Amino acid sequence: MESRNSVQIDLQKGRPQLPDKPGVYIFKDDTGKFLYIGKAKNLKKRISSYFSRSPVSSKISSMLNKARFLEFIITSNEKEALLLESNLIKSNSPRYNVVLRDDKRYPVLKLDLREEYPRLSISRKIQKDGALYFGPFHSASSLKSTLRFINKLFKLRTCKNLPKDGRPCLSYQLRRCLAPCKGDISREEYMEHVQNAILFLEGKGKELAEKLTEEMLSAADRLEFEKAARMRDQINAIKKVLERQQMVSPVPDNIDVVGICHKDGLFQIILLIIRDGFLIASKNFLFRERDETPSHVLDAFIKQYYLDCKDIPDSIIIPFDLEEKSLISSMISDKYGRKVKIELAQKTRKAELMDMAYKNAQELLKDAEKSSDILKEMKDVLGLKKIPVRIEAIDISQLRGRQRVGSIVAFKDDRPDKSKYRNFRIKGEYQDDYSMIREVIERRIKKGDLPDIFLIDGGKAHLSFAIQAIKKNTEDSPNVIAIAKARNTQEADKIYVENRKEPVQLPPHHPVLLFLMKIRDEVHRRAISYHRKLREKEQLDSILFQIPGLGKKRVEALLKHFKDINDIAEANEQDIAKISGIGLKLARNIKEFLRNEL
């Protein structure tokens, strides 16, 4: 909660007395968890409407039934209330608000300018660490293609750590890296290449081409023909990319076009990003919101998306009018220090762009409906209380008690949500899978935000242990099911469900069974892969014990300082010699031994 004066009321002690002032109100459950956050021009009138006799939606009715406390914060004006509401929704994700989920499941490109020689890397988590993030990329192939193009064009380093011996890697030999490790390029010159990469990733290709053209001509005037030739090649490559981008406006517009399509509680939003008249990117967002209107969903999307957007347009084009359009526009303009308009698609060209956005949203909604159908069928077939939008599967892997691990994979709307994938090294001393499943579930529960279903790779006994762990550690009640492999190819896998004596037997090609098998196979692959990785690391680290002069304490000291044996092999003798108990002579022996073994 922000450092503001707030008042909390216990709703069981009577109707709240509220001020006739603007502000933000928060409904909470009996544990203090946020259920719903809203803002009001007049707190007294707005909150009183929740307790009037007029009918409310089933969503609001459900929220009020769970609400125990009401907290309100008075603000100076409605605009301040709007900004505070958006911030609180973004940071708390209340269950009954329309919440724009971060694009965490999609990969992004990370550039940390605090590094001496920054490099681009792939990340699935956007952190507040001072680094720049570009994306999200909605497919791994498009991200890798972009990364290859940028590294080829600007020749930024790709190694995690600069080689300490000053010897450049193969990328330098192939002319794909500037090799700052070699010392032939200053940081100032290297950072010029970094800034050019930033311009390209920000969609400012035209501006970058113009900048490089000026630098190319200047280099030619100084008779630096090799440098000028490199810049010419960069300019040609950028122009080819620009040619592939679709020009959608004869004037250099910087606009975002927001299209929305909805059906049966599914709302698909697509965002067309147009810079200098070119369509440079599109993003899509899916909301599952029963009892909501398109207007409410669009309103929530715009307030939350543009709260911390890194590329603000001059104008945001929307398909229909919003009640608080002027207020939202003013909030965004104030935040970014320049005028940002929110307007309807009235002119012919903008109406055509809106039609393009709507048709794309329609196609995406069809895919979302297919996902919804399989989840609805799962609810009916397994007798669940609600549609399981979020599913997390758990599997255990061990080899005769060694390197015991557990893995979790997550699916949302029938698709992998890789930002929620997790690996666990088992801490307990037990050897049986049941106890390990219990430990993984207990550790997962501590992280909060539980899924609709936990899917266990196993049979009835595995299911029983999982249910016990959940009931013991949380009052939330996610469904738990287990899927056991068939004993022979003629039978179908069996699905075990809580409170059912017999397993659910579905035909071998039933879509629900195939979907659950897909999730089970995914978590099994991850657990096996993680287990194999740890075994290989263990085998590699054991090589150290073969080096004369290295005992348990010295090996532990080495592995505490260096990440693994590969890091030791890449380090120079002086760095190894600094480790407690290891002198220069032993460091030389270590380097020589690893050079022969690895």
What is the predicted pLDDT for the residue at 3?
43
The arithmetic mean of pLDDT across residues 268-286, rounded, is 85
How far apart are the C-alpha atoms of 466 and 568, rounded to whole Å?
41
User: Of the candidates 273, 317, 265, which has an alpha carbon nearest to the alpha carbon of residue 296?
Assistant: 265
The arithmetic mean of pLDDT across residues 174-201, rounded, is 82
Angle at 301 between CA 298 and CA 303, to 5 degrees: 110
Give tens-digit pLDDT for 480-500: 999 998 877 678 899 999 888
Backbone angles phi, psi at 312, to 5 degrees: -85, 130
User: Of the candidates 270, 363, 257, which has an alpha carbon nearest to the alpha carbon of residue 318?
Assistant: 257
Confidence of residue 538 (pLDDT cuts 50, 70, 90): low
Asked whether residue 162 carries a pLDDT value surpassing 80, the answer given is: no
Asked whether residue 560 carries a pLDDT value surpassing 80, the answer given is: no
Identity at 356, one-letter amino acid code: M
Q: At what angle do helices 187-201 and 205-221 cross, to 10 degrees?
A: 150
What percent of the chain is modeled with pLDDT above 70?
89
CB 158 within 8 A of CB 235: no
CB 424 within 8 A of CB 405: yes
Cross-strand partners of 284: 270
What is the predicted pLDDT for the residue at 391?
94
Left (φ > 0), alpha (ψ -120 to 50) or beta: where does 344 sit? Answer: beta
Domains defined for the chain, CATH in brackets? 6-92 (3.40.1440.10), 255-369 (3.30.420), 390-520 (3.30.420.340), 547-597 (1.10.150)
What is the predicted pLDDT for the residue at 165?
61
Give tens-digit pLDDT for 184-195: 788 888 898 888
What is the predicted pLDDT for the residue at 70?
92
Residue with the bigger pLDDT between 274 and 564: it is 274
Asked whether residue 598 carries a pLDDT value surpassing 60, the answer given is: no
DSSP state for residue 578 in the 8-state scheme:
T
Measure Cα distances from 123 to 110, 136, 239, 419 in Å. 6, 10, 28, 10
What is the predicted pLDDT for the residue at 441?
92
Residue 208: count of CB within 10 angstroms of its CB: 21
Asked whether residue 526 carries a pLDDT value surpassing 80, the answer given is: yes
DSSP state for residue 138 in the 8-state scheme:
S
CB 531 within 8 A of CB 405: yes
Size (the chain), residues = 598
Residue 388: count of CB within 10 angstroms of its CB: 21
User: Of the candidates 185, 176, 112, 190, which has an alpha carbon nearest to the alpha carbon of residue 148?
Assistant: 176
Asked whether residue 172 carries a pLDDT value surpassing 80, the answer given is: no
Most distant CA atoms of the chain, gap in Å: 86
The arithmetic mean of pLDDT across residues 334-344, rounded, is 92
> What's the token pair of residue 591?
């380097």
> What's the token pair of residue 355?
């039609």
- Give the distance, in angstroms, between the CA of residue 230 and the centroid of all CA atoms in the same chain: 36
Confidence of residue 139 (pLDDT cuts 50, 70, 90): low
What percent of the chain is modeled with pLDDT above 90?
28
Backbone angles phi, psi at 499, to 5 degrees: 65, 20
Q: Which residue has the tokens 């505490």?
A: 560
Measure Cα distances from 305 to 13, 127, 258, 500, 522 in Å. 38, 17, 11, 44, 32
Asked whether residue 370 carries a pLDDT value surpassing 70, the answer given is: yes
Angle at 299 between CA 295 and CA 304, to 5 degrees: 150
- Give the distance, in angstroms, between the CA of residue 588 and the centroid of all CA atoms in the same chain: 44
Compute the mean pLDDT over every residue in the chain, rounded to the nearest whole number. 83
What is the predicted pLDDT for the residue at 164?
63
> What's the token pair of residue 240?
């080819």
The arithmetic mean of pLDDT across residues 498-527, rounded, is 90
User: Of the candidates 389, 138, 358, which has an alpha carbon nearest to the alpha carbon of residue 262?
Assistant: 358
Confidence of residue 322 (pLDDT cuts 50, 70, 90): very high
Asked whether residue 249 carries a pLDDT value surpassing 70, the answer given is: no
What is the predicted pLDDT for the residue at 274?
87
Contacts of 458 (CB under 8 A, 6+ apart): 433, 437, 482, 483, 484
Residue 219: count of CB within 10 angstroms of its CB: 18
Asked whether residue 279 carries a pLDDT value surpassing 70, the answer given is: yes
Identity at 373, one-letter amino acid code: D
The arithmetic mean of pLDDT across residues 211-233, rounded, is 85
Strand pairing category for 402-412 and 422-425: antiparallel
Helices (H), 248-390: 294-305, 325-336, 348-382
Give tens-digit pLDDT for 432-455: 889 999 999 999 998 878 899 999
Which helix (H) or strand (E) covers residue 211, if one does? helix 205-221
Asked whether residue 462 carries a pLDDT value surpassing 70, the answer given is: yes
Give tens-digit pLDDT for 85-118: 999 998 888 989 998 875 545 677 888 888 888 8
User: Of the candidates 595, 453, 449, 445, which has an alpha carbon nearest to the alpha carbon of residue 515?
Assistant: 453
Q: What secondary structure does DSSP assign to 406-452, as a single string?
A: EEEEEEETTEE-GGG-EEEE--SS--SHHHHHHHHHHHHHHT----S
Residue with the bigger pLDDT between 142 and 259: it is 259
Cross-strand partners of 109: 122, 134
Asked whether residue 166 carries a pLDDT value surpassing 60, the answer given is: yes
> What's the token pair of residue 165?
């011996």
Strand pairing category for 23-28 and 69-74: antiparallel
The arithmetic mean of pLDDT across residues 137-152, rounded, is 76
Instruction: Judge if pTM exceeds 0.75.
Output: no
User: Of the candidates 33, 44, 50, which has an alpha carbon nearest to the alpha carbon of residue 72?
Assistant: 44
> Which range is least confidently modeled, 52-61, 151-160, 425-434, 579-588?
52-61
How far apart are the C-alpha atoms of 95 and 275, rounded to whole Å?
35
Give tens-digit pLDDT for 121-135: 888 777 777 788 877
